[in-house]
Amino acid sequence: MRRELRAEWTKLRTETGVGRLLPALVGLTAAAAAGVSASVTCGAAGCGHDTVKLALTGVQVGQAVVAVLAVLVVGGEYGTGMIRTTLTAMPRRGAVLAAKAAVLIGVTVPAGALAVLASLLAGRLILPGRGFTAGNGHPPLSLADGPTLRAAAGSVLYLALVALLSLGIALAVRDSAAAIGVVLGLLYVSAILPLMVADPDWQLALWRLSPSNAGMSIQATTNLASLPLSPWAGLGVLAAWAVAALAGGGVLLRVRDA
């Protein structure tokens, strides 16, 4: 396994574009968080906004960068034909998949943590000036607060699960452009699909099945009883999607020719 990890790490470091995607994940996530925080206001009488969720809205932008990064881990090799060399040199395909997933998580989690921390910092600095003050019932954002810490850690896990979901889909599709389209459609189209049906039961079912809607519930810190799924249960839905994608991609990697 050590050999596979070393090989995958070398390939990831030398993959064109990866060096720009990780800073982009941090920068775009934090910038989106700052933009959202600066666009809302809270009157003197208080308001019902969840300030933690507001500050972490940028994760919805950052997930697209994570998806592209994860697809490149596989799609680049299939595009150049390098996958044949990889599987010839390392014929244990399960070990290759595990190494790809481990290396991907190894870069996604630190970058995701920086993105989440930068987003919370932006919210802490901007939101008080928009009326979200302790006097209005909104104390400054702090990781010392249990729900805030859960939302922050859960957002990092959310990005890691998006990376694994994207990796599995890329293995199944074997084409970078197509895989990116499938992943982004799954994340963003499924999020708005419940709004396109009138039946409330179908709306609820589609919301609970959406990997992004369900997974993003981990960011909620207020009115938890009104959520269609609890925060950790929602993240569990995304985890199930990621496991299914990896399992399917892994099976196809084993049974198909390179």
- pLDDT tens-digit series, residues 74-129: 877 777 767 776 666 676 777 888 888 999 999 999 999 999 999 999 999 999 98
Q: How many domains does the chain have?
A: 1
pLDDT of residue 253: 81
Query: Percent of the chain at pLDDT above 70?
Result: 94
Cα–Cα separations (whole angstroms), residue 91 to 1, 47, 64, 184: 12, 58, 31, 31
What single-letter amino acid sits at 83? I
Query: Where do runs of H (alpha helix) occur along 185-230?
Result: 190-192, 200-209, 211-216
Taking the C-alpha atoms of residue 233 and residue 224, their distance in angstroms, rounded to an integer, is 12
Identify the domain containing residue 162 by its residue range. Answer: 2-255
Confidence (pTM): 0.93
